[in-house]
Amino acid sequence: MSSSLRIAIGSDHAGYDLKQHLVSFITGLGHTVDDQGTYSTESCDYPPICAGVGRTVRDGKADFGIVLGGSGQGEQLAANKVRGVRAALCNCLYTARMARAHNDANVLSMGARVVGIGLAEEIVTTFLSTPFEGGRHARRVAQLSELEDEF
């Protein structure tokens, strides 16, 4: 893992408690965190928060993003609306590793109602430490970018 990464993070109300925990966990690893909300468990809409995390990554102000919600599904969808974002829903270690190694994912989505704190820490660590393998996978990632341009 790089010595110090910049991580943008955001959640809806369902992901708030896990987000708070992960902010401490990630800063404890020596990384910088840009917490983009929400800032309570009061019900809120996740699309603008997750798109904001995606824009921060796209614009180079963060190395990676993390979005959290109840299932992580909607958060992943919202982040993926930002051109250049490859958000992956990872609720296990295998998908976290493959999202980085094969898809060069730059935003991690997780479901706070799906994973516990310990597993979430392991998923974050795996996601942040797994390098992109390149090779044949680079060709496929380039094809994803071409699809963005086409549509």
Active site residues: 75, 102
C-alpha distances in angstroms, 146 versus 92, 133, 143?
29, 20, 5
Tokens of 84: 């250049």
Q: Rounded CA gap, 46 and 57, in Å?
A: 17
72, 110 Cβ separation under 8 angstroms: yes
Helices (H) and strands (E) in the chain, counts: 6, 5
